[in-house]
Structure 1
Amino acid sequence: MTPRLPWPLAYTVSGDDCAAPMPLGYAAPLAEAVRHLAEFGYDGVEVQVRETGARDAEALTRTVEAAGLRVLGIGTGPVAAQDQLTLTDPSPDVRRHALFRLLGAARLAGELGVPVTLGQTRGTFLPGLADMQRGWAERAVEQLAEEASAHGSRLLLEPQSRANTSLWHTPDETRAVIESLGAPAGLVLDTHHLDAEGVDTMRAIADHAAVTGCLQLAAPVTRGPLTVGDPRLPSLLKALHAGGFTGWLTLEHTQDGDSPRAAARSWTALTDAAAVLA
């Protein structure tokens, strides 16, 4: 585990099934990315997948563990970002395909023994269809949570800004959803989306740390790599510690055209801030 940090530290990477590297993750093939991240001192990775399923768990594990890292979570952003598949699309075939992909990711996560996360793939509303689309999303998320639980995983639902989705923008809204599910579920909190929705990050952590499985980090305003000396970081780490957070931290931000430098910069900023916990 990273020195002085009481939680595993991960970086966003793209699975080999992605059409291109995700813009908020390390811009290199998976094997290269994990090798570099291990050299920087990261503990693991959060792998964004497009269509990878349980059958691919062994190969994914082998690639990541060969670098001395571990998979900490499975993300599903490319399902929407690269293939435009969402749970609220007006087309039944598109919705079925989106759910099929997400269920596959949940089974993969179960094989790996890690959570699966859901963000923008829940989609956006069209005029006059909001009530119907909300129902589609709620039923699909219930099914996804049950599938994850049945395979030894757990769904983590991410509050995202209205620029990404029409559903569940704040931690309070999203927690109400997970508490209504018939299977265990939790939250992903992302500092960028909290800022975009005007939600105070420290308050969100204080209120929801116990049900949060992952905190995703980026610099304010730019959504770029973290900066050494950012006064927010020590306060954020203290809030996590005080709230009893037991999940992992993920760097999910733009790469500024240079993933090695971005990853090294964020690692240094966060581990420097962690001195406050000593």
Structure 2
Amino acid sequence: MIHSLRYEVNCSILFTELPLLERAAAARQAGFDAVEFWWPFAEAVPADRQVDAFVAAVEDAGVQLVGLNFAAGDMPGGDRGLVSWPERSAEFRDNVDVTVGIGERLGCRAFNALYGNRVDGVAAATQDELGAENLAVAARAAARIGGTVLVEPVSGAERYPLRTTADALAVIDRVHAAYDVTNAGLLADLYHLAVNGDDVDRVIADHAGRIAHVQIADAPGRNEPGTGSLPLMRQLAALDAAGYTGWVGLEYKPTTTSIDSFGWLPHDRRAATTSTH
């Protein structure tokens, strides 16, 4: 086991047997002191009382929020982000301040901006131009609180254009060149990269310094480590050796109950050595 890495639970895919506002407390009871969430509301701009209830649930659980997605549309329905989607660009921008505001209240500094599927009737170049502009808007907002915007390659969505590390880094480089934004980083989900055919070992060797956040699941199945064939422990050790000091998000679908799916990780490794991101 890699002893310097810090693990945290994605409460949007784990503990789904519980209401969303009870999941952070369940993660704490399982021994973790940090969590992440996909966008936890139905609307891009929820009512203040909904935001307050979410913030209170995380605070009351005694855990640190270390990752939060911007609004990404109807994820169960197939949406994968609003960043490059012209018809929903204003909705994304309205969401930016809400998301960063939650981060400011809870000490979260990592914000995942899912890029968005290709849409009919809009040239890919037009979507990419808008995507870079919106990522710059989000990154500048996050910079006000010392935050980082994450760009993630994703599998299982045919119209999502960022599939490999090279795809995501090209977008990040474009944002940097066009808008002088330096606080955008790669979200390396080792499951998505492997499923898409990326050479994960080479990604770690060549780009560890550009990885701002890590997530894991085994393949096939996107279940807990040890249920598939991915060399996750070896790859995490390589990340550790390369100097990665960020969080490792457990973003998998448990094959049993959520609490029973953590058997691969000793209880004394679940709490981070520090409670700040």
Provide the secondary structure at the position in 1 that maps to 2:15: coil
CA distance in 2, matches of 1:259, 1:82: 20
Does the 8 Å contact 1:4/1:271 carry over to 2?
no
Q: What TM-score, normalized by structure 2, do the two folds share?
A: 0.78
Query: Map of 1:5-24 to 2, 5 A cutoff?
Result: 5-14=3-12, 24=13
Does the 8 Å contact 2:82/2:116 carry over to 1?
yes
Does the 8 Å contact 1:162/1:169 carry over to 2?
no
Alpha carbons of structure 1 residues 202 and 233: separation in structure 2 relative to 1, 3 Å: same
Q: CA RMSD in A?
A: 3.2
Equivalent residues, number: 257
Show CA shifts across 1:194-231 (max 9, x none). 01221121211222222212111001111112227967
Does the 8 Å contact 1:186/1:212 carry over to 2?
yes
Provide the secondary structure at the position in 2 that maps to 1:156: strand
Show CA shifts across 1:224-248 (max 9, x none). 1222796713311221112110110
Does the 8 Å contact 1:192/1:223 carry over to 2?
yes
CA distance in 2, matches of 1:57, 1:240: 35
The equivalent residue for 1:254 is 253
Query: Map of 1:38-57 to 2, 5 A cutoff?
Result: 38-49=28-39, 50=41, 51=44
**Greater alpha carbon shift after TM alignment, 225-234 vs 68-77:** 225-234
CA distance in 2, matches of 1:243, 1:72: 21
CA distance in 1, matches of 2:230, 2:167: 28
Does the 8 Å contact 1:10/1:251 carry over to 2?
yes
Does the 8 Å contact 2:219/2:229 carry over to 1?
no
Higher relative contact order (CA 8 A, sep 6+): 2
Identical aligned pairs, as a percentage?
24
Consecutive unaligned residues of structure 2, counting only runs of 5 or more, are: 271-277
Q: What TM-score, normalized by structure 1, do the two folds share?
A: 0.78
Provide the secondary structure at the position in 2 that maps to 1:26: coil
The equivalent residue for 2:263 is 265
Does the 8 Å contact 2:83/2:92 carry over to 1?
yes
The equivalent residue for 2:160 is 166
Query: Map of 1:191-230 to 2, 5 A cutoff?
Result: 191-227=190-226
Query: Map of 1:78-93 to 2, 5 A cutoff?
Result: 78-81=72-75, 84=79, 86-91=82-87
The equivalent residue for 1:177 is 171
